[in-house]
Homo-oligomer: A and B are copies of this chain.
Amino acid sequence: MARMAATDRREALAQAALAVIARDGVHAATTRAIVAEAGMPLASFHYAVASRDELLRDVVELVVGSQDSAAFSTLELDARDIRSAIRGVLGSNFDILRADPARQQAMFELTHYALRTPTLDDFPVAQYGVYRGLAARLLEAGAARYRVRWNVPIPDLATLAVALSDGATLAWLATRDDVAAERLLDLAADAIAAHAIPLIKENS
């Protein structure tokens, strides 16, 4: 094993743990499975991190952090109208899901695990805060880009968007029905776009 700082090892362990969780589920993320994934001896685990629960907290922070940075570039495609733009974002989100279903399922399992763990129960709140914030920024950007305004508060609409995305993700994970998922995304895009009101052009 190469020599590396304890903090680096801690991050490597968190990523290895996430890989194990994605492949085999949260309950399979034992200390031995994690160090095997990372290619470390067992003793490195408790040298880098105090306990298994603490490492899992690193994992959820890793997750909520990475989720925030991604998925914003998908808005930049040139759709005809706001409805097509929304459908595009939902569609590329769905493509990400299909490319790596295990990761999305790991997210859900981590959320449920955190809800059951007293020291981690603030994570789901933060997680959904990130989701809603991301959706709100997309809605704002879309409104500016396509010259519309929303007839309901953006936070409420963002909550709707997150719920639709979550529901579609969950349904596809359970059934793997691509056709039903595409139709669902069509209806979801309609539901969100229905709250867009075209702006009267004031200048130009």
Contact = CB atoms under 8 A, between A and B. Distances in A.
Query: Interface range on chain A: under 10, 10 to 19, 20 to 34, or 35 or more?
Result: 35 or more
Interface string A64-99: 000000000000000000000000000000000000
B156 A187 contact: yes
Contacts of A112: 25, 105, 108-109, 112
B163 A188 contact: yes
A184 B159 contact: yes
A198 to B, nearest CB: 18
Contacts of A128: 171, 174-175
Interface of A: prevailing SS? helix
A148 interface: no
Interface string A37-52: 0000000000000000
A115 interface: yes
A31 interface: no
Nearest to A168: B163
A183 B108 CA distance: 23
A63 interface: no
Interface string A170-204: 11011100001001100110110010000000000
Interface of A: 24-27, 105, 108-109, 111-113, 115-116, 124-125, 127-128, 152, 155-157, 159-160, 162-168, 170-171, 173-175, 180, 183-184, 187-188, 190-191, 194
11 contacts: A26-B27, A109-B112, A115-B173, A124-B173, A128-B175, A156-B183, A157-B187, A164-B167, A166-B167, A191-B191, A191-B194
